[in-house]
Amino acid sequence: MRHFLSLKDFTKGELLEMITLAQKIKLQTKQRKFVPYMEHQTLGMIFEKSSTRTRVSFETGIYQLGGVGLFLSSNDIQLGRGEPMKDTARVISRMVDMVMIRTFEHTKIEEFAQHSQVPVVNGLTDSYHPVQLMTDYLTILECGIENPIVAYVGDGNNIVHSWLMLAAKLGFDLRIATPKGYECDAAIVAESLEIAKESGATITISNDPKEAVVGANVVTTDTWVSMGQEEEKEVRLKAFDGYIVDKNLMGLAQENAIFLHCLPAYREYEVSEEVFEAHADEIFLEAENRLHAQKGIMVWLDQHRDDTIENENS
Ligand code: CP
Ligand code: NVA
């Protein structure tokens, strides 16, 4: 049985299999063909943070696959009153077929997975947002970009950590620019550089947005104030001065460069209204693709749930 906690746990081939499945299921969905790949299965969805896209896409996705989603807000389940993660895992995973979790420390989802009898999918932690990055890759392919040169300008957060893992696994060019003091986690950078040696990915990290964006064909960013950092807002807004993706910065990228944003976006902070609206088609295709990419991931995990048993018996 495999959990989907970080992209680093999968080979390039496995990640591409999930993307291929997502493309196939997206096509079927567009033809209004709802193939019951996960008939009668229940997806438990534990949320310790807010969400629009993750909730709607997972709940709709499992329904369209023939199953049902259970929205479990930590405010409403005993987890929020102090029931341990490992007990929550041991109870819920005896009743449902797959679990998606959005939480704070990455160690919490690892603890849940360790005690779970069913596959666990990361719906965002403080360290990673892997389902978002699978979506972004699907969107890049749909935009006709075969050799991505990605520039990420902004906070060294969960989103860019998953960009690091995606680039390292798939072997593309990633340039990151973060302000001083808001760099990526050093251990995650080191791990991705190690993985990149195998794939041939070129990863460059600086404090210079222009250096990152020159010649890129994908430009992306994320909020400067992630969930859980609300108290740091004033300090952060000052530190990120000069990191907005505006027309001038976007002008340094390739002429047909796309702009992606995982959303929610804060206009005139990390991105100008002008750039956002000029690239709205790409951004909202990316948002829709959460539904399709996650179906590919869920079906792949479902199809591989007996892996360990097969391996043990072979
Ligand atoms: N991008 C994303 O994960 O959005 P939500 O926080 O709305 O789920
Ligand atoms: N970095 C953001 C992503 C939101 C989808 C956060 O963690 O709040």
Residue 211 · residue 178 · CB < 8 Å = no
Task: Answer yes or no: is pLDDT of 314 > 80.
Answer: no
Residue 133 · residue 7 · CB < 8 Å = yes
The model's confidence at residue 313, banded by pLDDT at 50, 70 and 90, is very low
Secondary structure element (H or E) that encloses residue 99, with its range: strand 98-102
Helix, strand, or coil here: 155? coil
Q: What pLDDT sits at residue 306?
A: 80
Task: Answer yes or no: is pLDDT of 309 > 60.
Answer: no
pTM of the model: 0.96
Q: Which atom of ligand 1 is nearest to the CA of 129?
A: 3
Q: What pLDDT sits at residue 288?
A: 98
Phi (first) and psi of residue 151, to 5 degrees: -110, 120
Q: What is the average per-residue pLDDT within 16-39?
A: 98
Q: What pLDDT sits at residue 48?
A: 97
| Ligand 1 centroid distance, CA of 193 (Å) | 27
Task: Answer yes or no: is pLDDT of 28 > 90.
Answer: yes
**Sheet hosting strand 68-73, strand order edge to edge:** 68-73, 42-47, 98-102, 120-122
Task: Answer yes or no: is pLDDT of 22 > 60.
Answer: yes
The model's confidence at residue 102, banded by pLDDT at 50, 70 and 90, is very high
Q: What is the average per-residue pLDDT within 243-257?
A: 98
Residue 125 Cβ < 6 Å to ligand 2: no
Q: What is the average per-residue pLDDT within 68-83?
A: 96
Residue 224 · residue 154 · CB < 8 Å = yes
Q: What value does the mean pLDDT of the chain take? A: 96
Which tens digits make up the pLDDT trace of 109-158? 999 999 999 999 999 999 999 999 999 999 999 999 999 999 999 999 99
225 burial (CB, 10 Å; 0-12 / 13-18 / 19+) is buried
* Ligand 1 pocket test, candidate residues 54, 122, 270, most atoms within 8 A of CB: 54
Q: Looking at the CA of 225, name the nearest ligand.
A: 2
The model's confidence at residue 287, banded by pLDDT at 50, 70 and 90, is very high
| Ligand 1 centroid distance, CA of 51 (Å) | 5
Structure tokens at 231: 């108290």
Task: Answer yes or no: is pLDDT of 312 > 70.
Answer: no
| Ligand 1 centroid distance, CA of 307 (Å) | 31
The model's confidence at residue 308, banded by pLDDT at 50, 70 and 90, is low
Which tens digits make up the pLDDT trace of 197-241? 999 999 999 999 999 999 999 999 999 999 999 999 999 999 999
Ligand 1: residue whose CA is nearest its atom 7: 52
Q: Which residue blocks in the chain are alpha helix, DSSP H?
A: 12-30, 53-64, 85-92, 106-114, 130-142, 158-170, 186-199, 209-213, 233-239, 247-250, 273-278, 280-303, 307-313
264 preceded by a cis bond (ω within 30 of 0): yes
Residue 78 · residue 87 · CB < 8 Å = no
